[in-house]
Structure formats: C-alpha cells, structure tokens
C-alpha cells in the first residue's frame, strides 16, 4: 500500500513539473526508452532529391508496429490536443522514412521525429497455389521491392506492378502511387494491394501490456531527474516530448490512463476508408507497417524491345496502340533522345547492340529530337523462345518506327526489372548519384501531351541536358478513384507520364543553378496544370492553395476529412507541407 502511495506521489510531482516553465530534455532520446529513439543522423535530414534539408530532433527505429503505435498515441495526447490551451510549437511531428528516395523533403520532419521503417521486420511470406491463382505475399512496410522480388521468385511468383527502381520501400511507394511500364495493364502499385496494416494518428487510449512499458516505469525516475538536474533545452520541444514520456510512464501505472495508438488491419472490405485513404495518401493518414500484395506466375525471361522515332506524334500514337494490346504486350514505356549523352546513357542497361546514329541537327540548323518506344513481352518458354519472338515480330509489324531501327534482346526477368540498378552503378562511378536531383514528374491528359512537350522543350538546352526524359501512357481506369492519389481528367481515358530526371554535377551546377532548375520546373508545372489540366506526381506543392488546386474541390474536401479522422493532431507527414501541426495552426490564429 505504501508503495502504491509513493508511486502516485511520484506521478503528482511529475505532473507539477509539467506545468512549470522549465524545459527538461536535451532530446527525445533521453526519455523514450520503450520506443528506442536515438539522436538524429545526417541522413535523416537528407533525401535523394538533395534539395531540401530539415533536421529532426530524434530518430525512431521501431522493432514492431506496436512501437510506432506507442509513439503516435503519446504524441496525439501531447499539449495542443483538442480541448487544451494551444501553445506555439507544442506539437511534435512524425515522418516515416523508408529508403530515403523522396525528392523534396517529404520524408523529413523539422524538429520532429523520423521513423525509419527499414528497422521494421522485413520478412516476406509467400502464400501460393501451384498455378499462381490467388497467390499473395505478406511483406513488411520497410521491405525493399527488390527483396520482395527475390523472395517471390523462389516460389516462381512475382507482383504484377512495379516501379522502375526496385530499391524503394513497399510502404513508400504505396503512400504515393508506384508506376512503371506494367501500370497500363495492371494499374499502379496502389491498385495491386489486398490488405494493409497501418498505424494511424488516432489513438484508442487503451494501455499496452508490453513489458517495455512497465520496464519504463522503473527507468523513468532516473531519466526525469537527469533532465531536471541538467536542465537542457532542445528547440522548444521539451515540454511536449516530456509530456509524451509522462503518458508512457502513466501507462505503467494504470491501463486506463494512456494508450498504445491504433494498429489497424484494413482492406477494401475491412476499414475500407482507412485502406483507400492511405494508398496514395502521401503519409498523411498512417504509417504502413505491412502489406499483402497479389502475385502472378513469374516468367523466366523477357523479350525486351526498343524502336526509334523522329516524330513525336508517331511515337505517342504507337505507344497508345501498344497499351491497347494488353493481350500481347506486358510493359510499355518510352523516352526522349535529346542528344548523344541521352542516347549513350539509355543504352547502359540495354544489353543489345544498337546501331542508331542520328543527326541531332535539323535542316534549319536547330536541334532535332528523337524518341524511343520501349516494350516487353513475357517469355514463359524455358527452353524455346519462339513464341515470344513471334509475338515481338507481330507487334513490330503494327508500329511505324524508323526502319530498321528496332532492337530486341532476351534477358532474365529479374535482370529486366532490376535494369535501373545498372544505370545507378554507372552514375555512382561518375560521382553523379549522390547529387541534387531536381526532378519533375507530371501526369498529362492525352489531349495536352504535345503541348506539354513543347512547354518542356522551351526550358531545355538540348545539347547540354543530362538525364532521361521518360514519356509513356497510362490508362486512368486502372486507378481506383477511392484512393487518395490524384490523376488528371482525360476524356479518352489516356494520360501520359512525363518524368524529367536530371542529375546535376555540383562542379558545374551549384546551389543557384539547382534552384534555377527547380524554379523552371515550378513554372512549367503551374502552366501545365492551369492550361492542360495536368497533375504533378511526387511533388511538394509550394502552398496550401496549390494543394487545394491539386486535389480539386471535392478531392480536397475528402482529403481534409480523412486527415481529421485519421490524424486529427496533424502529426504525420509534415514534409509534404499540406497541414500545419494543430498547435502551430492554433497559435498562428
């Protein structure tokens, strides 16, 4: 009995300390023992884009979804929650970071906490039938797609829809879209999910029975007194994070006081609103910790074809013809050939001899642009590839490319899907991988594709441009309108991906140069959205008004309603710049 009194006396002292003006902590790593926060590393403030740098106050490396849930539950009840008097900058935000391939700081959390999802269990569990029907894989949200592929291939199976680059996390691409040349046939990756496990920002306030929470009770006095004595401050977040620690402490006292956050299993039929909100939801509604992905029988080989064009109209016409033949073709992409560099770099991963030597000077002395259609046919004949060869010949006869410039090669299925890895290694060898990447990705309705090409070419110095410019069609009816992803309206159901993938050499393009490229891209995107009805993909909009325009009236209302339901404190996904944390917003008003 005396022990219980002492415990509650201790809790009262802690509550009194919370009301004081003292900031106790140096960093959240001092007080978050049960959820394993550590001091931030430089990588947490950097991403592949390398154009935004926003440092967190701590990093979390969760061992389970329950760890993430405890963190979000505690933060959801920190000062500034509904019913509390708001304090400026009281909220601590959380960003999920997978492989760090965001382009504009979307997985960063300035002054907040970065959850490194690669620390989650990454086991890939394949459930299959001999014919592949009904097969699926349960995969961790922090698993890389290349890890998923390797494990599934051991069972002769593979997911249907991919990204061009496989060293991205499952949770990362499902939070955005996930597109590649298979998307015209199977839809994006977000259209190929059976079930998700998600940790939301809405806690049920029911205490965990995890022993870690109870161990934390015994450690917390030492943590508290260490910080009271040292009285160190960290960016004004002390009391907020201290409050979170206090809730975790109280959880060890009473199961009715503090919560573990909500780990939800959802699907199109089970918690469907959360399921569709999270898919393409830009990390705003929850952190994906597990996904169930449908599988198909994997072909041993792929017949990979490239054909060249000197007319943009013919190039896009043939691409649309290809995507109208899903019974013959399994993959369709394409790219612009702007100069000798783009011709050479595009051949790095393509293991066929290409005897295409175009003249990049037009008759009037200006620059001449060429185009390349790329398609692939799955080859299920382990010994004899005659069937795939016949299909390729049949398809090529329907196309109007620059004869004889069509080239094909047979490669292993894994090597085909992993083709960008070779390009990565080439760029790394030249010091052009870990550099700023001011990329632009835009979805353009088919009626505006020529206009966007002209708009883009007005910003490009053709002879000096480095990096691929991908151009290929997708079908809008392969995108589920219930998800949070945004695609343009297109009367004929066809939209085009334009991906301008620059790598800037710091020796030739410094910070001012990179900012100039970004400004050009913003201008192009704004004009395309306004005049052509285009929508940006993987972008960080510059203002809330831009986000509202991006989603459209009803789409924006739905997005805001989902935020209110699944992350009412606006804790998640601060790097997108869509919502201010509730405390910040209240203080500002």
More confident: 361 or 173: 173
Per-residue pLDDT, 6: 57
**H helix or E strand, kind and range, residue 290:** strand 286-297
Per-residue pLDDT, 383: 55
Q: What is the SS3 assignment for 304-363?
A: EEEEEECCHHHHHHHHHHHHCCCCCCCEEEEEEECCHHHHHHHCCCCCCCCCCCCCCECC
* pLDDT above 50: residue 226: no
CA distance 80 to 347: 55
More confident: 539 or 27: 539
Calculate mean pLDDT across residues 484-507.
Answer: 96
Per-residue pLDDT, 317: 99
Per-residue pLDDT, 1: 60
The two tokens of residue 472 are 């290929």
Kindly name the residue from 101, 186, 405, 570 that is annotated as catalytic: 101
Calculate mean pLDDT across residues 358-373.
Answer: 88
Confidence of residue 501 (pLDDT cuts 50, 70, 90): very high
Kindly name the residue from 39, 138, 164, 466 that is annotated as catalytic: 164
Per-residue pLDDT, 395: 98
231-284: pLDDT as tens digits: 344 444 444 444 444 444 444 343 333 334 689 999 999 999 999 999 999 999
Asked if 315 and 370 touch (Cβ cutoff 8 Å), the reply is no
As a whole-number percent, the residues of the chain with pLDDT over 70 amount to 79
Per-residue pLDDT, 388: 86
89-145: pLDDT as tens digits: 457 899 999 999 999 999 999 999 999 999 999 999 999 876 657 999 999 999 999
Residue 410 bridge partners (DSSP): 303
Q: For the chain, what is the mean pLDDT?
A: 85
Confidence of residue 13 (pLDDT cuts 50, 70, 90): very low
Per-residue pLDDT, 131: 60
CA distance 417 to 421: 9
Picking from 48, 153, 138, the residue whose alpha carbon sits closest to that of residue 99 is 48
* Lookup result for tokens 């690669």: 118
Per-residue pLDDT, 380: 87
Per-residue pLDDT, 366: 78
Confidence of residue 382 (pLDDT cuts 50, 70, 90): low
Per-residue pLDDT, 461: 79
Per-residue pLDDT, 384: 63
300-338: pLDDT as tens digits: 999 999 999 999 999 999 999 999 999 999 999 999 999
CA 273 to the chain's CA centroid: 20
Per-residue pLDDT, 346: 87
Confidence of residue 71 (pLDDT cuts 50, 70, 90): very high
| Catalytic residue flag (residue 164) | yes
Asked if 363 and 320 touch (Cβ cutoff 8 Å), the reply is no
Helix (H, G, I), strand (E, B) or coil at 330: coil
* pLDDT above 60: residue 229: no
* pLDDT above 90: residue 150: yes
Kindly name the residue from 333, 374, 379, 567 that is annotated as catalytic: 333
Confidence of residue 367 (pLDDT cuts 50, 70, 90): confident
The two tokens of residue 415 are 């090597």
**β-pairing verdict for 58-60 and 113-116:** parallel
Per-residue pLDDT, 240: 43
* Helix-then-strand count for the chain, H and E: 18, 18
**Domains (range + CATH), the chain:** 2-117+202-254 (3.30.43.10), 301-541 (3.40.462.10)
157-195: pLDDT as tens digits: 999 999 999 999 999 999 999 999 999 999 999 999 999
73-91: pLDDT as tens digits: 888 765 544 444 444 445 7
């Amino acid at each position: 009995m005396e022990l219980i009194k002492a415990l509650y006396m201790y809790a009262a002292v802690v509550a009194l300390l919370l009301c004081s003006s003292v900031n106790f902590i140096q960093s959240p790593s001092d007080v978050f023992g049960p959820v394993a926060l550590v001091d931030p590393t430089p990588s947490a403030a950097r991403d592949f884009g390398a154009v935004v740098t926003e440092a967190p106050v701590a990093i979390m490396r969760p061992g389970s979804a329950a760890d993430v849930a405890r963190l979000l539950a505690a933060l959801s009840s920190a000062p500034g929650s509904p019913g509390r008097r708001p304090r400026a900058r009281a909220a601590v935000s959380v960003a999920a970071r997978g492989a760090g391939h965001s382009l504009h700081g979307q997985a960063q959390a300035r002054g907040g906490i970065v959850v490194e999802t690669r620390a989650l269990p990454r086991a890939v569990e394949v459930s299959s039938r001999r014919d592949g029907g009904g097969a699926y894989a349960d995969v961790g949200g922090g698993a890389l797609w290349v890890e998923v592929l390797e494990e599934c291939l051991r069972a002769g199976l593979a997911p249907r829809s991919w990204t061009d680059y496989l060293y991205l996390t499952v949770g990362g691409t499902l939070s955005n879209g996930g597109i590649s040349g298979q998307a015209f046939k199977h839809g994006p990756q977000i259209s190929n999910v059976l079930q998700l496990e998600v940790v939301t920002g809405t806690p049920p306030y029911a205490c965990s029975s995890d022993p870690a929470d109870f161990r934390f009770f015994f450690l917390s006095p030492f943590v508290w007194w260490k910080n009271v004595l040292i009285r160190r401050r960290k960016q004004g977040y002390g009391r907020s994070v201290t409050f979170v620690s206090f809730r975790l402490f109280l959880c060890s006292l009473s199961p009715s006081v503090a919560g573990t956050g909500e780990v939800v299993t959802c699907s199109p039929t089970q918690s469907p609103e959360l399921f569709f909100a999270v898919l393409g939801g830009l990390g705003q509604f929850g952190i994906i910790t597990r996904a169930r992905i449908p599988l198909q029988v994997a072909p041993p080989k792929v017949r990979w074809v490239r054909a060249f064009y000197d007319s943009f109209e013919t190039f896009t016409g043939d691409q649309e013809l290809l995507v109208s033949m899903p019974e013959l073709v399994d993959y369709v992409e394409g790219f612009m050939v702007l100069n000798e560099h783009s011709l050479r770099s595009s051949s790095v991963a393509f293991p066929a001899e290409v005897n295409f030597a175009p003249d990049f000077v037009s008759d009037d002395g200006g620059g001449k642009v060429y185009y390349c259609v790329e398609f692939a046919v799955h080859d299920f004949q382990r010994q004899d590839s005659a069937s795939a060869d016949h299909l390729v010949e049949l398809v090529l006869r329907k196309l109007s490319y620059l004869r004889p410039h069509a080239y094909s090669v047979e490669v292993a299925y894994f090597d085909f899907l992993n083709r960008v890895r070779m390009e990565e290694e080439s760029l790394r060898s030249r010091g052009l991988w870990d550099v700023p990447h001011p990329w632009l990705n835009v979805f353009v309705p088919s009626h505006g594709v020529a206009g966007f090409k002209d708009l883009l070419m007005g910003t490009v110095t053709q002879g000096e441009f480095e990096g691929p410019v991908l151009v290929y069609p997708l079908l809008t009816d392969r995108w589920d309108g219930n998800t949070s992803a945004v695609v343009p309206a297109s009367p004929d159901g066809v939209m085009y991906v334009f991906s301008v993938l620059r790598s800037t050499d710091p020796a030739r393009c410094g910070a001012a140069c990179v900012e100039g490229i970004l400004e050009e891209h913003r201008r192009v995107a704004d004009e395309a959205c306004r005049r052509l009805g285009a929508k940006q993909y993987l972008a960080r909009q510059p203002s809330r008004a831009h986000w509202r325009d991006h989603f459209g009236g009803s789409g924006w209302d739905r997005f805001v309603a989902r935020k209110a339901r699944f992350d009412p404190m606006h804790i998640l996904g601060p790097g997108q710049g869509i919502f201010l944390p509730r405390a910040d917003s209240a203080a500002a008003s």
